[in-house]
Amino acid sequence: MYNAGSMSAGEFISHEEIMDAIDWVEQNKHNENLIRQLLQKASENKGLNHREAALLLEAGDKDEIFRLARRIKEAFYGNRIVLFAPLYLSNYCVNGCLYCPYHSQNKTMARKKLLQEEIRREAITLQDMGHKRLAIESGEDPVNNPIEYIVESMETIYGIKHKNGAIRRMNVNIAATTEDDYKLLKDTGIGTYILFQETYNRERYKELHPSGPKSDYEWHTEAMDRAMQSGIDDVGLGVLFGLERYLYEFIAILMHAEHLEAAHGVGPHTISVPRIRAAEGINPGSFRNGIDDETFARIAACLRISVPYTGIIVSTRESEESRKKVLELGVSQISGGSRTSVGGYEKEEKENTKQFKVNDNRTLDEVVNWLIKDKFIPSFCTACYREGRTGDRFMSLCKSGQIQNCCLPNALMTLQEYLIDYAKDGTRSAGEELIKGEIGNIPNEKTRSIVIEHLEEIKQGRRDFRV
């Protein structure tokens, strides 16, 4: 029985409801009136429920959906794109996930766990690229990577004092765990807790997770509830497209978002949309549900119009071309200059420890330059989390539109820091021009003059202003 507010995975991700919704979409895909009404509803920025969104995904006019997604993106996020990088701490893992080369049966994968000194050097290398926001990643292994190791690693990174650099926000992507562990992460200053569901289809989930704690569907699917009950306000959902029919996953991830809203009063902070990629021993062609670029773009656009307040993340699994397309349609965060191996930032890896092959191999500076040339504002902002604007506080600022008074000023100030401390000459001059042109777009006059002052102070050597 489907119940969005239930705390039981079998009820808030109801297979019956997903199958009924798929039937409903089939029955209504030529219902022009209904489709028109849904586009009208979405255009009021109020979002759509999982059935409505699925109907647009399958039957809405592509040009109209893309236009609407662009408009909503513009209204909520303007032309800002937040940048981050993943940092792999350890690829030891006791799980048996068939789509990931870190699975425990993979005897040819070199196993590596970074020592605290190595983590320090990795984080400094990332700081020297210009990053301020990391997603730390680790396999699940209670012996090699216990929660104490993750906490110690976060403390190491937050404690680094190096030139003008600083990692100001750390999102954490580790396996489903206990409320006590989530409390520890909260106390250590976690940004967003990220956990991909991989697939919401219980049968498929079982096939793909033959062993390890992750094979427990309930434990994994109810993890966000434990995290939120432990005080973590911001959680990030995701599925791995290619494992199951995309429509099934699209409906289910929106149901999960509806569940978080119903049970905790706050939807997901972010949704990630990775597609399966080649990796050691992993051939994406052997997964029968891969999606093409066109479907991928439709999914990004339909997510944007369905959950306007949720950030959408695309990683370097995607090519430059594919990232360019979805940036316009609703993606608000991207990774840049990423390495998916353990210890891969400081040293080019000699042994293979990669989780997947990166598709966009450009440096962070090349990505920043590309964004600027395409009229996006690269942002290294981490202000909300540091100002305590998380969870329902963040969402209510988003919904009232007030967050707009923060995002653009913070984007410009953090970009200015990047340009002075890390950018190559061409990027610096293009960025300076962009900032000059964008200052006038700060709506509030008082904020505008504060930002102009701070930009000058940043040029004089001061750092870390935020509004």
**Is residue 95 near ligand SF4 by the rule CB under 6 A?**
yes
Note whether 82 binds ligand SF4 by CB under 6 A.
yes
Q: Which stretch binds ligand SF4 (CB under 6 A): 22-30, 260-268, 292-300, 374-382?
A: 374-382
Provide the minimum distance between the beta carbon of 254 and ligand SF4 in the complex, in angstroms, as a whole number.
Answer: 22
- Residue 139 in contact with ligand SF4, rule: CB under 6 A: yes
In terms of Cα–Cα distance, which of 312, 308, 301, 309 is closest to 335? 312
Q: Please, which residue, 38 or 342, has the CB nearer to ligand SF4?
A: 342
Amino acid at 272: S
What are φ and ψ of residue 131, in 5° steps? -70, 145
**Number of helical (H) and strand (E) elements in the chain, helices listed first:** 20, 9
**What backbone torsions phi and psi does residue 48 show, to the nearest 5 degrees?**
-135, 155
Q: What are phi and psi of 387, to 5 degrees?
A: -95, 5
DSSP state of 344: T
Task: Output the smallest distance, CB 333 to ligand SF4, in A.
Answer: 9
Calculate the dihedral angle through the C-alpha atoms of 261, 79, 451, 395, rounding to the nearest 10 degrees.
0
Among 367, 383, 419, 423, binds ligand SF4 (CB under 6 A): 383
Whole-number minimum distance, CB 276 to ligand SF4, in Å? 11
Stretches 89-97, 123-131, 315-323, 428-436: which one binds ligand SF4 (CB under 6 A)?
89-97
| Binding string, residues 394-433; x marks residues near ligand SF4 by CB under 6 A | ---------x--xx--x-----------------------
**With 0-12 CB in 10 A as exposed, 13-18 as middle and 19+ as buried, what is 348?**
exposed
Name the residue nearer to ligand SF4 (CB basis): 52 or 249.
249
How many residues sit close enough to ligand SF4 to count as binding (CB under 6 A)?
20
Query: CA 169 from chain center: how many Å?
Result: 13
At its nearest, how many Å lie between ligand SF4 and the CB of residue 95? 4
3-state secondary structure of 33: helix
Query: In angstroms, rounded to a whole number, what is the distance separating the alpha carbons of residues 42 and 306?
Result: 7
Distance, in Å, from the CA atom of 51 to the CA atom of 26, rounded to the nearest integer, reads 11
Show contacts with ligand SF4 in window 194-213 (CB under 6 A): none
Amino acid at 297: A
194 vs 208: CA distance, rounded Å = 20
As measured in angstroms, the least distance from the Cβ of 189 to ligand SF4 is 15
3-state helix, strand, coil in the chain (%, to 5): 50, 10, 40
35 binds ligand SF4 (CB under 6 A): no
| Minimum distance of ligand SF4 from residue 190's CB (angstroms) | 15
CB of 279 to ligand SF4, least distance (A): 10
Q: Judged by CB under 6 A, does residue 343 bind ligand SF4?
A: no
Residue 315 CB contacts under 8 Å (≥ 6 apart), including other chains: 86, 272, 274, 334, 335, 338
Nearer to ligand SF4, 97 or 434 (CB): 97
As measured in angstroms, the least distance from the Cβ of 294 to ligand SF4 is 27
Euclidean distance between CA atoms 400 and 459, whole angstroms: 33
Question: Does residue 214 touch ligand SF4 according to CB under 6 A?
Answer: yes
Stretch that binds ligand SF4, among 5-13, 220-228, 276-284, 375-383 (CB under 6 A): 375-383
Beta bridge partners of 443: none
4 closest CA partner among 220, 302, 261: 261
| Site mask for ligand SF4 (CB under 6 A), range 278-317, x = bound | ----------------------------------------
What tokens does 244 get? 């199951």
Q: Which is nearer to ligand SF4, 60 or 191 (CB)?
A: 191
Q: Does 166 bind ligand SF4 (CB under 6 A)?
A: no
Q: Distance of CA 245 to CAs 18, 24, 200, 285, Å?
A: 12, 16, 10, 15
Which of these segments, 60-68, 294-302, 376-384, 434-442, binds ligand SF4 (CB under 6 A)? Answer: 376-384
**Binding of ligand SF4 by 239 (CB under 6 A):** no
Residue whose CB is less far from ligand SF4, 4 or 395: 395
| Contact pick of 102, 217, 296, 370 for ligand SF4 (by CB under 6 A) | 102
Extract the runs of DSSP E, i.e. beta strands, from 101-194.
133-138, 169-173, 190-194
- In 142-204, beta strands by DSSP E: 169-173, 190-194
Q: Write the binding mask 168 to 187 for ligand SF4: x where contact by CB under 6 A, - elsewhere.
A: -------x------------
- Closer CB to ligand SF4, residue 99 or residue 370? 99
92 or 296: whose CB is closer to ligand SF4? 92
Asked if residue 114 lies in contact with residue 122, where contact means CB atoms within 8 angstroms, the answer is yes
End-to-end Cα, the chain, rounded Å: 45
Per CB under 6 A, the list member of 65, 100, 136, 413 interacting with ligand SF4 is: 100
Binding site for ligand SF4 (CB under 6 A): 82, 93, 95, 97, 100, 102-103, 139-140, 175, 214, 379, 381-384, 403, 406-407, 410
